[in-house]
Amino acid sequence: MAALSHRLGACLNSTFETQQCYVYGARFANLLNLCSVALPIGFDEKRMPVSMQIVGRAFAEPLILRIGHAYQQDSDWHRQRPAGWDLADKAVA
């Protein structure tokens, strides 16, 4: 556990390392054949999106999806957009 917390602490130093941490954090579920879902849970102090990952045993997708759905019914984080998102939408249109 100490190695994991050290690795995750190092991930906060740069954008590239942060992206690598997303892969590192999700990799264990794939390697262990577990199911998982990531859900938005807010924004950090720089208004960057933050998420949580719910992980369940193999073939527990219905349960994991029900948990994720229940969370989204009780929150509105999945409807909120980071600052500047509307500008990106206009550039694509």
Residue ranges of the domains in the chain? 2-79
CA–CA distance, 91 with 88 (Å, rounded to integer): 5
Structure tokens at 69: 């759905």
pLDDT of 67: 95
This model's pTM is above 0.85: no
The pLDDT profile of the chain, 93 residues, written as one tens digit per residue, is 444 444 444 555 555 555 566 566 667 777 888 888 889 998 888 888 888 889 999 999 999 999 999 999 999 888 888 777 766 556 555
What is the reported pLDDT for 3?
46
Percent of residues in the chain assigned helix, strand, coil, to nearest 5: 60, 20, 25
